[in-house]
Amino acid sequence: RCFANQHAHKLLNAFVGAAKDVALFQHELQAANERSKEGRAKSPIDGHLIAIKDNICTTGEPTTCASAILEGFHSPYPATVVEKLKGTGALIIGKTNLDEFGMGSHSTNSIYGPVKNIYTQDGDHLSAGGSSGGSAVAVATGQCDAALGTDTGGSVRLPAAYTGIVGFKPSYGLVSRWGVVAYANSLDTVGVLAKDSSVARSVFNVINGHDPRDPTSLSTSTRSRIEKYVIDRSAKHLWGASPLLRIGVPIEYNTEELQPTVKEAWLGTLQRLQQLGHTIHILSLPATKMALSAYYVLAPAEASSNLAKYDGVRYGNKSAEREGTDNVLYAATRGSGLGEEVKRRILLGSYSLSAAAIDNYFIKAQKVRRLVQRDFNNAFALSHPLLDEQAISSTEDKVDIILTPTAQSMPPKLDDLDTADPLEAYKADVMTVPASLAGLPAMSVPVSEEPSIGMQIIAQYGDDDLIFDFAQIIE
């Protein structure tokens, strides 16, 4: 681990406040070292340094979501994921910077100022991606072994791709969201960022599990049903002895906007896989084209409801203007406490849920979400374990895994973002939102460091382990 360059790291603004000095953990690290030497490590991540995105509650320090409305907010309890990590000997080194409430693609919508990528171009810092950009840079600079992020529409995968590390978003419902500040709860997941997939896997194994406090957390019986189903498939399938996979390449991801360097990296990865004996299958996921628009209707709609509680009374810092009616207090509190992008989403969401617009926007977007799910189900050999019980349908034209780029283009320069239209930032999510809408596990794996290019692996619901196995082949 390289902790030498702490000053330079600070300038990248990955942490909210400062990362804890590693010296503070000297005793714990020594103890963990001894435990590991004696073969009694608490877990594979005993003594690992982990950073936590600042929209995940911890009790030692504030949890602010990079928002003025929550500045100085101390959660009375820690998130389940944080508790789980601590129980396995991991050491929490600090909270990381993000886009306010997770809304953004470049980690620039923050009261703490933008996160800067470790990579520069012509002397200018590039975007670290968002919204878990702080977590990504904390890992990329070696300030921690792994970091937790949240991924609603790509916020773990995009920063991972932009900073040259691994970013994993699990199947929806596997990892508890208790103590994770909601952005769009039907899409929100807690993900892991790490230098390589084996560390990410160890962290995921610790945080994966049923939590009775999260109503969307999968029950233990459903988990064992999924496990059995996936194992049955593996037994019937070719692999085991000879782990050859059928890899799907969706034509819709070969967009006009796909930058040539990204396309080359995609083709290069596919060629490598082919040389190893895996087979490549071109397929179509027709609803992909509508996924981004549907996402930007659904996510703001849920956000407008989730963020209604920050009114200065139930939650959040009260504005000083307390005179007058309740409406004045609410308006003043929300007007000064929430950032531009958050306000834009609340307005968009309130509009698409309004009586005049709901049929044309919200309901249509829900239908598109179903179509996106159906597309993926048609593509995978493994059927969706929660939707039906049938085993593998004919594997002839079906695939085990899908491989696409994580982003259409290289990270933009931070300076160029100032003038960019907000729609440009939305477009950065075009490759990542389909898996989010379908609740599928997905991972960004770096295939090139400078420039930093990530490939996205998508698998059927519950097939998270296959993603980790496959990542080891391409990383």
Both tokens of 255, joined, read 């967009």
Q: Using CB under 6 A as the criterion, which residues of the chain lie in contact with ligand GLN when the complex forms?
A: 102-105, 131, 150-155, 183, 299, 429
Which residue, among 391, 423, 191, 182, has the nearest Cα to 305 in the 3D structure? Answer: 182
Cβ at position 246, least distance to ligand GLN in Å: 29
Least distance from C-beta 153 to ligand GLN, angstroms? 3
For tokens 């770096």, name the residue: 446
Q: Which residue number, 229 or 310, has a Cβ lying nearer to ligand GLN?
A: 310
Of the two residues 46 and 302, which places its CB atom closer to ligand GLN in the complex?
302
Q: What is the largest CA-CA distance in the chain?
A: 73
**Which is closer to ligand GLN, CB of 102 or CB of 173?**
102
The torsion angle over the Cα atoms of residues 285, 290, 292 and 294, rounded to 10 degrees, is: -120
Closest residue by Cα to residue 430 from 255, 210, 307: 255
Residue with smaller CB distance to ligand GLN, 247 or 299: 299
**Please, what is the minimum distance in Å from the beta carbon of residue 109 to ligand GLN?**
9
Which residue's CB comes closest to ligand GLN? 155
Q: How far is the CB of 90 from ligand GLN (least distance, A)?
A: 23
Query: What's the distance, Cα to Cα, between the start and end of the chain in Å?
Result: 20
**Least Å distance between CB 189 and ligand GLN?**
9
Selection from 65, 56, 59, 54 nearest residue 15 by Cα: 54
Shortest CB 340 distance to ligand GLN, Å: 13
Residue 202 or 436 having the CB closest to ligand GLN: 436
Q: What residues are annotated to the active site?
A: 53, 131, 155
Nearer to ligand GLN, 105 or 108 (CB): 105
Residue 53: which of 143, 126, 135, 109 has the closest Cα? 135
Shortest separation between residue 177's beta carbon and ligand GLN, angstroms: 13
Task: Give the residue with the Cβ less far from ligand GLN, 183 or 204.
Answer: 183
Q: What is the CA radius of gyration of the chain?
A: 22
> 90 to each of 16, 28, 180, how far by Cα in Å?
20, 9, 19
Instruction: State in angstroms the smallest separation of the CB of 366 from ligand GLN.
Output: 17
* CB-nearer residue toward ligand GLN: 165 or 299: 299
Give the span between the Cα atoms of 421 and 418, in whole angstroms.
9
Both tokens of 228, joined, read 């059995």
